[in-house]
């Protein structure tokens, strides 16, 4: 591991995005690279992570930034996982939005992901003091 850098609002190239999303197995995003680029460009906040210039991760929020922010994507190249990079990018991403009431994410039912998000202060909606329902329509 070389020199890790974090940068806000530095949009990766189309090729970098496709390669990174493919590296973590998110092929649903890479089937339409133009849509992926447009989505990343429309993010409320974007943090990229590079190792000696190579894109190794990114995280992005969508939302209004006042009443809600939604963690749309956080991905770290498998070769760089479990080194604290995800935690660092997560904290940098949410830092400007500490006072926003609703911070939301939807993720796979995978124990490591659950443990990570819970370590970052997130809870499943059903386990809250006043449980709420979450509805999703995936197309």
Domains and their CATH numbers in the chain:
4-127 (3.40.630.30)
Give 71-77's long-range contacts (Cβ < 8 A, gap of 24+).
71/103, 71/104, 71/105, 72/39, 72/43, 75/20, 75/21, 75/24, 75/26, 76/24, 76/49, 77/20, 77/23, 77/24
pLDDT at 1: 61
Note the pLDDT tens digit of each residue in 8-47: 988 899 999 999 999 999 999 999 999 999 999 999 999 9
SS3 at position 19: helix
């Amino acid at each position: 591991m070389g020199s890790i850098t974090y940068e806000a609002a530095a949009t990766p190239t189309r090729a970098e995005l496709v390669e990174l999303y493919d590296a973590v197995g998110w092929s649903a995003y890479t089937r339409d690279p133009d849509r992926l680029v447009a989505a990343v460009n429309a993010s409320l906040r974007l943090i990229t992570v590079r190792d000696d210039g190579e894109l190794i991760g990114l995280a992005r929020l969508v939302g209004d930034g006042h009443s809600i922010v939604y963690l749309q994507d956080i991905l770290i190249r498998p070769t760089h996982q479990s080194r604290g990079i995800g935690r660092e990018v997560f904290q940098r991403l949410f830092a400007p939005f500490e006072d926003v009431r609703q911070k939301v994410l939807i993720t796979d039912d995978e124990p490591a992901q659950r443990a990570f998000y819970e370590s970052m202060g997130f809870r499943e909606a059903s386990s809250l003091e006043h449980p709420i329902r979450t509805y999703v329509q995936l197309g």
